[in-house]
Structure 1
Amino acid sequence: MENINAQPTPRRARTPWQVTRSVWYAMFMREAISRTMSDRMGWFWMIFEPVAFVAIMVGIRSFIRGDRLVVNAEFIPWLIAGLMGFLLVREGMLRGMGAIEANSALFAYRQVQPIDPVLVRNFLEGMLRSFVFLIFIVGGLMIGLDMYPDNAIRAMGAWLSLWSLGIGLGLVTSVSATLVPEVGRVIRMLSLPLLILSGVIFPLNNLPHWLLEYIMLNPIPHALETLRLGFFEKYQPIHGTSMLYFWLVTLSLNALGILMHLRFVDRLKAK
């Protein structure tokens, strides 16, 4: 006979990591469906934007002979590598700004924190950009471009480094733009000058040394040049390129972003 006095086995409480993992998975699936399926043209624009940009720059090159400015690297693959790396950082920064406001309704659940949608969005964006970059590499190889990396480990390391910088910028801008909306407008306005100053379009080696010293305070060119060096072994990167400096800035931004989220968590939830 069954023991009617037997007590039901209590369910084991989930650990904080298990709760966080469940929250991230649910938010990732929500963001992925929204990002890729809510707009029928979503995938098209992700691929068309860099293709159109490269086509425009190749057209400009035919007039100014910009390929002669790049030492030991083909201009089109050099441009594609730099553009895709920059877009990875830019989208991580810009999409982080709207993550908190777009998911504000979820903060009614105590398991969800404002930092969660920022991290999930950056992870999803990095996955999508990596996939699009692979499409460019395969497509370039099929039409005869030198898109095969000479040092794949260095190229992947630089790509993941740019991804990390995008996360750090997204953490900082998500708090800043949520608390002060005007900050978001200024950051969007600066994205185009930042593209030029990061050496995406033209090499920065030909700039005067005194100007280059200031431009290289921007961490993005350091990782972009390392990414290009991974594709072209004999490529001459910008003088002063340092991944040590890049990672000092990147880790500082990530630490600052986490501290800002901890400090203003109540205000972010109230927005």
Structure 2
Amino acid sequence: MDNVNGGPRRSARTPWQVTRSVWYAMFMREAISRTMSDRMGWFWMIFEPVAYIGIMIAIRTFIRGDQLIVNADFIPWLITGLLGFALVREGMMRGMGAVDGNRALFAYRQVQPVDPVLVRNFLEGMLRSFIFLIFIGGGLMLGLDMYPDNALRAMAAWLSLWSLGLGLGLVTSVAASLVPELGRVFRMLALPLMILSGVIFPLNALPHWLLEYLMINPIPHGLETLRLGFFDKYQVVHGTSMLYFWFFTFTLIALGLLMHLRFIDRLKAQ
């Protein structure tokens, strides 16, 4: 249909098309900022987890000697746990700064406070997945047992941990923006949470009465399932349940989205 001037009428974009354009623009902005702002950005992105894992291997070897995990090689077991936990932790940490870091964009009515959280989580997951593939390839070249025995289970567990990081990021992005002191608390909890999630030390060695409390934390459920995908004979921690994991994850995602809807005006105004 033509307009009154004789030219073709331009059809209005649908809400989904607008949202997709916003996400794409924010994704490119975040990707360039993460990878191109620093001349050695890619180097540090890969070297940092390598150095971190090397330090953890040295600490674990010094404390427990050369004791191995039952039905799993120690180094691949530790790598999968550290990278899986880093996926959740970075999803939570990156989400906290997403709202404040993109506040200038809220002047455009198409941009909502939840958008940078979703985009940052997606970008972080893509980068962490790429790093994980580098570790798998590097480990195989070094003779480590890094090839997953059940690739589908490993990928499903990885995506599950990615989703948990999204849920945590949605919640912490609102909480840390409204109460800045909470951001410091969340950062302080990262290290204890790593220890209590069985990333460095196997939780199977702990007494059953203590495991009942530690397994309230959903992260060990995802990490143990990820490790089971790499070692099909690996003995997971008693009580591991992906049903519980996804119940917790869906609850966090729903709570985070509701918080963004409830406090959208305050998030834009601050």
Matches within 5 A, 1:94-133: 94-133=93-132
The residue aligned with 2:198 is 199
CA apart distance, 1:67: 5.1
Counterpart of 1:53, as a letter, is: Y
Q: 1:152 Cα deviation (Å)?
A: 0.2
Q: Which residue of 2 aligns with 1:38?
A: 37
**1:234 pairs with 2:233:** yes
Q: Which residue of 1 aligns with 2:158?
A: 159
Question: How much has 1:237 moved relative to structure 2?
Answer: 0.5
**CA contact 2:95–2:172 (8 Å) conserved in 1:** yes
Q: Which runs of 5+ in 2 are unaligned?
A: none
What displacement does 1:66 show?
A: 5.4
Distance 2:208 2:68 in 1: 16
- Code of the aligned partner of 1:81: T
Q: 1:186 to 1:53 in 2, by over 3 A?
A: same
- State the match for 1:49 in structure 2: 48
Query: Once the two structures are superposed, what CA deviation does each residue of 1:118-154 show, in whole Å capped at 9, x if it has no partner?
Result: 0000000000000000000000000100000000000
Structure-2 separation of matches of 1:224 and 1:62: 21
In the alignment, structure 1 residue 28 sits paired with structure 2 residue 15: no
One-letter amino acid of the counterpart of residue 117, structure 1? P
User: In the aligned structure 2, how far is the partner of 1:147 from the partner of 1:67?
Assistant: 19
Give distance in 1, aligned partners of 2:264 and 2:83.
33
Contact in 2 for aligned 1:158/1:227 (Cα 8 Å): yes
Q: Tell me if 1:182 matches 2:181.
A: yes
Alignment correspondent of 1:265: 264
The separation in 2 between residues aligned to 1:225 and 1:68, in whole angstroms, is 19
Shift of 1:47: 1.7
Shift of 1:8: 2.0
Shift of 1:94: 0.3
Q: Distance in 1 between matches of 2:25 and 2:101?
A: 15
Q: How many residues align structurally? A: 269
1:173 equivalent in alignment to 2:172: yes
Measured in 1, the distance between the counterparts of 2:102 and 2:257 equals 18
1:43 shift after superposition: 2.0
**Structure 1 residues 170 and 62: alpha-carbon distance in aligned structure 2, compared to 1, 3 A threshold:** closer
**What does residue range 12-91 of structure 1 map to in structure 2 within 5 Å?**
12-65=11-64, 68=67, 70-91=69-90
TM-score in terms of structure 2 length: 0.96
Partner secondary structure for residue 146 of structure 2: coil
1:46 CA drift (Å): 2.2
Moved more, 55-64 or 73-82: 55-64
Contact 2:60 2:200 in 1 (8 A): no
**Amino acid aligned to 1:153:** L
Query: In 1, Cα distance between the equivalents of 2:206 and 2:31?
Result: 41
Q: Where does residue 150 of structure 1 map in the other structure?
A: 149
| 1:9 alignment partner in structure 2 | 8
Is 1:246–2:249 an aligned residue pair?
no
Alpha-carbon distance in structure 2 between the residues aligned to 1:6 and 1:172: 50
Q: Pick which of 249-258 and 69-78 moved more.
A: 69-78
SS in 1 for 2:105: helix
Q: Distance in 2 between matches of 1:231 and 1:125?
A: 22
Aligned-partner Cα distance in 2 for 1:61–1:183: 31
Give yes or no for contact 1:47–1:132 (8 Å, CA) kept in 2. yes
RMSD: 1.6
For 1:48 and 1:131, the matched residues in 2 are separated by 13
Shift of the alpha carbon at 1:161? 0.2
Unaligned runs of 5+ in 1: none
| % identical aligned pairs | 81
Residues 93 and 166 of structure 1 are in contact (CA less than 8 Å); yes or no, is this contact kept in structure 2? yes
- Counterpart secondary structure, 2:9: coil
The offset of 1:44, in angstroms, is 2.2
Report SS of the residue matched to 1:72.
Answer: coil
